[in-house]
Amino acid sequence: MGRAPADSRDTSTDRQPQPLWLCIRFPRLALDIHPPGQSPVRAVINADNSVHSVSDAARAAGIETGMPAGAAAALSRALQILPRDVRRELKALEQAACRCCQVTPTVSLAPPDAVALDVRSSLKLFGGFAGIQSILQAILAPLGHDYHWAAAPTPEAGLLLARCRREIKIEGRERLRSALGGLPLYSLDLDANLLMRLHKTGIRQLRDLWRLPRAGLARRFGLELVAYLDRIRGKRPDPRALYLPPLQFRSQWELPAASAEHARISDAADKLFRKLVRFLRRHDAGTAAVGVRLFHLRSSFTPIHVGTREHARDAAHLLHLFDQALQCRTLPGPVTGLEMRCADIQAFTPPCQDLFRNTASEAQNWQHTLEELEARLGGKTIRHIESVDDHRPENAWRYGLSAGRKAKPRQRPLWLLPQPQRLSHRDRRLWYRGYLTLRSGPERIECGWWDGQDCRRDYYIASNPQRARLWIFQDLKQRSDTWYLHGLFG
Amino acid sequence: MRASHRLWRGLDPLPPGLPTGFAALDAALPWRGWPAGSVIEVITPAWGIGELRLFLPLMQRLSQQGRHAAWIAPPYVPYAPALSHAGISLAGAVIIQPQHPQQILWSMERLLRTAACGLAVAWPQQLTSVSTRRLQLAARGGHSLGVLYSRQHAGPRRQRMPITLSVRLDAVENGLTIELLKVRGGCRQPRVTVTWP
């Protein structure tokens, strides 16, 4: 069934060179993505509480992959258990793949922990296989992951060898059969049940599998196994999705003459924004952040950031935001040219249209207004607040992306002071712009002992001669009679 | 006759206002509530006497209608649990802390002009009659309400502001006295007292 040459055919003629898949496996990717902790004894556990990968120190302590987390914790007191984070693993893998694109455009991800690259067409450029290896070593070193490599004419064979840590290069499909023969059965990327069944029939190495008749294998163990073995030996085509590095847009525009006039700069930016939007439309994408650099005569540049709250591709709106940001800048000198860079490119979802009410455009209108304010006033001036379920008043809110959860109904002041303000005493009475009288309370708030921000306070509502209602508390952690003002009922 | 511009009438039929949530105040104001599409000045002797509580029923109503409320340069951070306790959607509230004082009025004007924004509350450091007029026009365009808070100033009244409603607050036991300093369209009584529910 294979399009690829069969075993018997002699391929020394090399009419069509076979691919050479260099597979790189990062055996400790799941561990490496976690920041280093205090203890060198570390283990990453799966969602089902079994150990996924272990550090060297943990291995020395007797912890092995596959054992339950409880058993692992019993073996070492210093064990640091980390949850597995598949998304971050994939991200780290994509980062590695992105770097590998420097060697060859044919890069394919093999999750969870490997990448496969076809380096056949790059061999001459980099001076042979050794050259590619040294370049890859230099490229991957900054990432700090350990890796094993293996090269084979098929990606599955390469991955299999890399998994077995055999760092060898195999040229020619006809040599795969003998080269892979010594590998253990359990290194195959197959279902554990299927492997168990194969093991029970006395198969220990791949060599044993090669000897069995195809038809019988397919009948007893399913077509899946036969197809996998065929892919390993290149008897069946194995198309792989190529990894495409994230889109980037970069374009420049020279002004005909250096100018500090906003209209001129804006005109040039308009052309670049139109170009950007054409680029985004072509890729069915939108952007939420565009960086523009205004170059001046003396080699320096002014950066201008244009940010939107949702991914968009409206040239007029982007230009409007750019103008707003430009207006509140003072340029150090005339501008000779512009450069636009955009790396934050994501799939574009157009706003939903409502049949009856025009709510979508109203919401968009509001977003556009906020974006304009942001462009003019700068990044962190516009914020939302949300409440958090916590008894401690200062932890019961945070800045964030408006989730709007409801807190428990208690009487709370509309103004909360950023820091509790120490109240003074006069004639043994509390004083804040006048003598204070307690109106209601106390409300005991005592919590946070679990996260080191211990808080034991009695809250009262007090009023002063100006009839301002104040939210004050007595700190019970301190011995003497210490009172603080924490809020105002605005 | 009524459609003719040449006929002068003493009092224009005023547009209906936004209910304040306090019956005494509604009765005293000619719009039967806060005047929609305009700017209000609120003078208060101190923060914390109930100057925000006066607007909570309005905020709650606007939040139910899905209109947004903007807080511009507030002296403190609005406390999220208190707002959600009052039935105000936090998703609709946006806090803006401009770095320069002149940006306060610019932001407010921009927000008032947006139809999605129902209420813009600002604590400006100074007001001029030109900027107030701009705000007034923006509020009319966006059919929104602008509230300008200021601390009570000593000495004589400053220049007259082209403002629809100007009130001075004073705290009383369990309530507020609202002195109506200026009411465009005629004032029925100079002073109203509201009590907290």
pLDDT digits (tens, 9 = 90+) for A440-453: 777 878 777 777 77
CB within 8 A of A81, min separation 6: which ones? A42, A43, A45, A69, A72, A73
User: Where residue B8 falls among pLDDT bands split at 50, 70, 90?
Assistant: low
Q: How far is A259 from A296, CA to CA, in rounded Å?
A: 9
pLDDT reported for residue A26: 92
Of B38, B50, B23, B16, which Cα lies nearest the Cα of B120? B38
- For B34-195, CATH gives 3.40.50.300
> Cβ(B50)–Cβ(B169) under 8 Å?
yes
- Chain A residue closest in CA terms to B55: A490
Q: What is the pLDDT along chain A (490 residues), one digit of tens a residue?
A: 334 444 444 444 456 788 899 999 998 888 888 887 778 888 888 888 888 888 888 888 888 888 888 888 888 888 888 888 888 888 899 989 988 988 898 999 988 889 999 998 888 898 889 999 999 999 899 888 889 999 999 999 999 999 888 889 998 888 888 888 889 988 888 888 889 999 999 999 989 888 889 899 899 988 888 999 999 988 888 888 888 888 888 999 888 888 888 899 999 999 999 999 999 988 888 888 899 999 988 778 888 888 887 788 888 989 998 998 888 888 888 899 999 998 888 888 776 666 666 666 677 778 888 888 888 887 678 888 877 777 888 888 888 754 333 334 567 888 888 888 888 887 777 888 888 888 777 787 877 777 777 788 888 888 888 888 888 888 877 766 788 888 888 7
The tokens of A481 are what? 């009679």
- Asked if B84 reaches chain A (Cβ–Cβ under 8 Å), the answer is yes
- Chain A residue closest in CA terms to B113: A369
Q: Mark yes or no for CB contact A381/B97 under 8 Å.
A: yes
Query: For chain A, which domains are there?
Result: 21-25+88-233 (no CATH), 34-84 (3.40.1170.60), 249-379 (3.30.1490.100), 411-488 (no CATH)
- Asked if B16 reaches chain A (Cβ–Cβ under 8 Å), the answer is no
- Chain B residue closest in CA terms to A433: B46
User: Where residue B4 falls among pLDDT bands split at 50, 70, 90?
Assistant: low
Q: Provide the number of CB pairs (under 8 Å) joining chain A to chain B.
A: 151
pLDDT reported for residue B15: 64
- Chain A residue closest in CA terms to B72: A382
Q: How far is B108 from A429, CA to CA, in rounded Å?
A: 42
Q: Mark yes or no for CB contact B94/A469 under 8 Å.
A: no
Q: CA-CA-CA-CA torsion for A35, A36, A37, A39, nearest 10 degrees?
A: 150
Q: Mark yes or no for CB contact B84/A366 under 8 Å.
A: no
- Asked if A403 reaches chain B (Cβ–Cβ under 8 Å), the answer is yes
Q: How far is B182 from B168, CA to CA, in rounded Å?
A: 10
Query: Which ranges constitute the DSSP H helices of B33-191?
Result: 56-64, 80-85, 101-113, 129-142
pLDDT reported for residue A82: 87
> Cβ(A42)–Cβ(A79) under 8 Å?
yes
Beta-carbon-side half-sphere exposure of residue A421 (alpha carbons within 13 Å): 14
> Cβ(A401)–Cβ(A310) under 8 Å?
no
Q: What is the ipTM of this complex?
A: 0.77
> Cβ(B163)–Cβ(B132) under 8 Å?
yes
pLDDT reported for residue A4: 43
Closest by Cβ to B79, choosing from A359, A414, A469: A414
